[in-house]
Structure 1
Amino acid sequence: MSGIACLFLCATTFAANLGVGGKDLTEQYVFAEMTTRLLQSKGYKVEQKDGMGASIVRAALESVQADLYLEYTGSLVVTFNKTTAKRTFDDTYAKVTEFDGKKCLISLASSDANNMSALAIRNGNPRTEDMQPVSDLASAYISEKSILTATMADQ
C-alpha cells in the first residue's frame, strides 16, 4: 500500500505566501484544492499551482517555486529517488525521509489514503463469474482464455 505524504521544502517554513503544487491527475487537483482551502482557513496567503506533470511539480518544489504538494510515498522513493527495492510502508517512508532530507525536503506523516486499484466486473457474465482478484483476470489472459474486451480511460 502506498500512502500519501505532504512534501515541503525546509526553507519555506516561514514564507509569507505559500505555493501549493499539484500534479495533473484528478486526485491531485482535489488534494491541492483541499490543502489550499485548509491553509487559507488558517490565515495563510496561498497560491494554488496545480496541473503540473510529476517531474515539473517536483522541480518546482526543489527550486522553491512551490512550497508543498501531496505525493505518493511510492512515487517519492521510486520515481524521484531511483530505488526499486520492495519495502514495507514504514521502510519506504524512512527511505524517502533519508533521501529527500539531503535535499532539505521534509515529508510529513502520511495520511491513511492510498492509491489501490479495483476491478469492476458485471454480475452474471459466465466468462468472468469465478473471478475474484485482478490476478484471476491476468491468469485468464495469459492462458489465452477468451474473456472479454475491456478499456481504461484516463481520469
Structure 2
Amino acid sequence: MKRVFLITLVVLVATVMSFGQTRLSVGAKNFTEQYIVSSMISQLLENAGFRVTENFGMSSFVARSALETGQIDLYADYTGTAWPTYLGHEKMIRDPLELYNAVKAEDLENGIVWLDMANFNNTYALAVRRDFAAEHGLATLEDLAELTHEDPDLLFGVVYEFLE
C-alpha cells in the first residue's frame, strides 16, 4: 500500500531563502492528484510571500531528477514510490510511519529532506467488471496474479509506479 506524504522535499528552500531569493520552483508529476496538491503548495507559498514558478506534468523520474539537479525546489512525492523506485529496495515496508522514517533517513544521505507527512492516503486498488471476476473466480489480488500466469494476453491499465 502506498501512503502519500506531502513532502515539500526542500533542501534547496533553506539555501534559496538564505540568499534572499524569494522565487521557488514547484514541480508536479503528470496526473490529477499531483496537479491539485502542487497547486495547493504553490498557493501556500505565494500567500507566504514567495514568488512561485510551476513546473507541472513530469514523470516520476523526471521530477526526482529535477529535484536532485536543482531544476525544481520542491514537489509532492510518495514514500511508496521513493522506497522501491528511487532508493532501489525490493522488500516493501507496510507500516506507513516506518516507511516514511526509512525513506526520510535514507534520502537525507542524498541531500533530500522529506517534510511532514500529509494527512491523506493514496492507496492503489484494482477494479474489474463483476462478470469478469465471476468468470475467472477473482476475489483477491493473488487470484488475479494467478490469472496473469494463465493468460499472458491479459491487459492492465496502470501507471508505472503501480506496476513496479
TM over 0.5: yes
Matched length: 149
SS of the counterpart of 2:27?
A: strand
Q: Return the offset for 1:92.
A: 1.7
TM-score, normalising length: structure 2: 0.73
RMSD of equivalent CA atoms: 2.8
Within the candidate set 106, 110, 115, 1:99 is matched to 106
The answer to which structure has the higher helix fraction is 2
Structure-2 change in CA distance of 1:79 and 1:17 (3 Å):
same
Tell me the secondary structure at the aligned position of residue 107 of structure 1.
Answer: coil
Task: Name the amino acid aligned to 1:8.
Answer: L
Within the candidate set 136, 150, 157, 1:152 is matched to: 157
Aligned partners of 1:97 and 1:153: how far apart in 2? 27
1:31 is aligned to: 37
Q: Specify every segment of 5 or more residues in structure 1 that has no aligned partner in the other structure, as ranges.
A: none
Of residues 51, 60, 65, the one that matches 1:59 is 65
Q: Per the alignment, do residues 54 and 127 of structure 1 end up closer, same or farther by CA in structure 2, a change over 3 Å counting?
A: same
Deviates more, 1:45-54 or 1:107-116: 107-116
- 1:86 offset after TM fit, Å? 2.6
Deviations 1:62-105 (A, max 9, x none): 12221111111021111111122232322321221122111221
Percent identity reads 25
- Is residue 71 from structure 1 mapped to residue 77 from structure 2 by the alignment? yes
Distance in 2, Cα, partners of 1:78 & 1:95 = 12
* Distance of aligned partners of 1:137 and 1:97 in 2 relative to their CA distance in 1, 3 Å threshold: closer
Q: Report the counterpart of residue 90 of structure 2 in structure 1.
A: 84
Amino acid at match of 2:85: T
2:119 is equivalent to residue 118 of structure 1 = no
Alpha-carbon spacing, 1:39–1:53, altered in 2? closer, same or farther (3 Å):
same
Are residue 2 (structure 1) and residue 2 (structure 2) matched? yes
Q: Which structure: greater strand fraction?
A: 1
SS in 2 for 1:127: helix
Quote the offset at 1:139 in angstroms: 4.4
Maintained 8 Å contact 1:119/1:134 = no
Match of 2:162 in 1: none
CA contact (8 A) 2:10 2:114 kept: no
Indicate conservation of the 8 Å contact 1:3/1:74, yes or no. yes
